[in-house]
Amino acid sequence: MTEAKLISSSIKENHTDYSKTSVPNRLLLGPGPSNAHPEVLNALSMNPIGHLDEAYLELMSDVQNLLRYAWQCNNRLTLPMSGTGSAAMEASIANFIEEGEKILIAKKGYFGDRLVDMASRYKANVIVIEKEWGDAFTLDEIQFEIEKNKPSVFAIVHAETSTGVLQPLQGIGDICRKNDCLFLVDAVTSLGALELFVEDWKIDLAYSCSQKGLSCPPGLSPLTINDRAEEKLRNRKTKVPNWYLDLSLLNKYWGSDRVYHHTAPVNMNYAIREGLRLIANEGLENIWNRHLENSNNLCSGLTELGLELHVSSAYRLPTLTTVKIPGSVDGDAFRNHLLKNFQIEIGNGLGSLSGKIWRIGLMGYNSKKENVDRLLNIFDTELKKFTFFQSATF
């Protein structure tokens, strides 16, 4: 029998040693992820236990109850999907749309495009209404399109991370119920940071992520669905085409039965429980006010420095501020300068706004006065160095 040569031997020949894993200490003031709260990181580092252990099952119940508080609802089926925000986004499409069914998507940014792409892959009859990237839809516009198209689902992004627009949601749920369609909300950049009332606003299903308002690392995506959505799921004519995201199966694990479905990311659930505990202790109203105050201070400071904001004050998103890059400034060079010399990350624009705006996030643990003051001071002293004319000399 011929002995096989270990492939790993070539690694040892070419590399003397690997050091311990290390990463730079960044202040993440971009569109996400944000820095996790230190107490969340402590929880994340605890030793894993089995995902059917009695102690873990109790923790699951804590997570669900705390999520209901964050969502401001009493929905039975409320859980953190295993995967980043896009997993819960896809779950909302895979479970609640069948082939040929109409979904009306109100698109006003990059993540509206993602909803369109996902729904198309599940062979939905996708109808799209659009706004300029920086505008929001009015209630009358939404009502007109729902009454005209009669969709099974109406979907909209609450806090559009690509543009910095906060979409008003009040009244949409009433329109959806009058027209017998589900109201689906992307709350990725709003849950745990901005005013959001799932029950009172008659939102039928909503999803978010762990790495923004909840002050956790990326890896989980909270999802909540009400009785109307559960009824639609039960009455599907076909099996949910995505096994991993099938809520009828996940319900058996996150419901009262606690029947095994997949190996849960145990440590991430430690983390999200801690993040949600911190939210409950601070209180949602205090958190909402904190985010709004810090956003207002950032916007005022940027304006005083002569910069122009991309979104009007009526629809400005407190968790993510978009600021226009001055025509004389090398935007990428300035972002790289912040990262390399100050360990601060801010984001570039996406899609049609790439190279035209910076995206500055103040979310969860990162939404605090000292971060606002630090960033404004750096903009004040450093931005002048990065005009196209001057950058050639630096």
Q: What is the pLDDT of residues 327-373, one digit of tens each?
A: 999 999 999 999 999 999 999 999 899 999 999 999 999 999 999 99
Per-residue pLDDT tens over the stretch 176-230: 999 999 999 999 999 999 999 999 999 999 999 999 999 999 999 999 999 999 9
Q: How many residues does the chain have?
A: 394
Residue 392 has pLDDT above 80, yes or no: no
Q: Quick one: pLDDT at residue 12?
A: 57
- Mean pLDDT of all residues in 299-314: 97
Give all domains of the chain, ordered by start, each with its CATH number. 27-32+284-391 (3.90.1150.10), 38-281 (3.40.640.10)
* Predicted pLDDT of residue 7: 57
At 87-102, the pLDDT tens digits run: 999 999 999 999 999 9
Tokens of residue 393, six digits:
């000399």
On the question of pLDDT at 11 being above 90, the answer is no
Read off the pLDDT of residues 253-265 as tens digits, 9 standing for 90 and up: 998 888 989 999 9
Confidence category of residue 16, pLDDT binned at 50, 70, 90: low
* Nearest alpha-carbon partner for 185 in 215, 230, 134, 222: 222
Instruction: Name 130's bridge partners.
Output: 107
User: Residues 173, 199: contact at Cβ < 8 Å?
Assistant: no
pLDDT category, 393, cuts 50, 70, 90?
very low
